[in-house]
Amino acid sequence: MWLNIVWYVLFVIVIAGYLIMDGFDLGVGILHIFLAKTDAERRVSLNSIGPVWDGNEVWLVLGGGALFAAFPMVYASLFSGFYAAMMLVLLVLILRTVAIEFRSKRPAPGWRRLWDSVFFVASAGIALLLGVAFGNIMEGVKLDASGNILNSLISLLNPFALLVGVTTVFMLATHGAMYLSMKTEGDLLNRVKKALPWLMAVFFVLNTVLVAATILRNEVIAARYLQQPVLAIFPAAALAAVLVAYFMVRRAHYFIAFLLSAAMIAGLLFSAAVGLYPNLLLSTLDPAYNLTIFNAASQPNTLMVMLIIALIGLPFVLLYTAGVYYIFRGRVRLDQLSY
Q: What does the DSSP 8-state code read for residue 330?
A: S
Q: Is 337 helix (H, G, I), strand (E, B) or coil?
A: coil
**Count of structural domains, the chain:** 1
- Amino acid occupying residue 268: L
Is there a domain that residue 332 lies in?
no
- Average pLDDT for the chain: 93
Taking the C-alpha atoms of residue 168 and residue 176, their distance in angstroms, rounded to an integer, is 12
Whether 113 shows a pLDDT value over 90: the answer reads yes
Please indicate, yes or no, if residue 331 is contained in any of the structural domains.
Answer: no
Q: Does a cis peptide bond (omega within 30 degrees of 0) precede residue 107?
A: no
Most distant pair of Cα atoms in the chain: their distance: 61
Tell me the residue type at 306: M
Q: Is residue 300 part of a domain?
A: yes
Residues above pLDDT 70, as percent of the chain: 100
Would 336 be classed as within a structural domain?
no
Q: What is the mean pLDDT of the segment spanning 150-170?
A: 93
- Percent of the chain exceeding pLDDT 90 equals 78
Q: Which of the four pLDDT bands, split at 50, 70 and 90, describes residue 258?
A: very high
User: pLDDT (tens digit, 9 = 90+) per residue, 35-74?
Assistant: 999 999 999 999 999 899 988 988 999 999 999 999 999 9
Residue 337 domain-assigned? no
User: Rounded mean pLDDT of 3-11?
Assistant: 96
Rounded to an integer, what distance in angstroms lies between the CA atom of residue 107 and that of residue 74?
47
- Residue 20 CA to residue 174 CA, distance in Å, equals 11
Domain-embedded: residue 269 = yes
| CA–CA separation, 240 and 295 (whole Å) | 36
Is position 229 within any domain? yes
Cα gap 21→23, rounded to integer Å: 5
Kindly tell me if the per-residue pLDDT of 222 is higher than 80.
yes
Is the per-residue pLDDT at 336 higher than 80?
no
Kindly report, residue by residue over 260-276, the tens digit of the pLDDT.
999 999 999 999 999 99
pLDDT at 98: 95
For residues 90 and 1, the model is more confident at 90
23-44 average pLDDT score: 95
Provide the domain limits for residue 240: 2-326
Q: What is the pLDDT of residue 36?
A: 95
Q: Is residue 334 part of a domain?
A: no
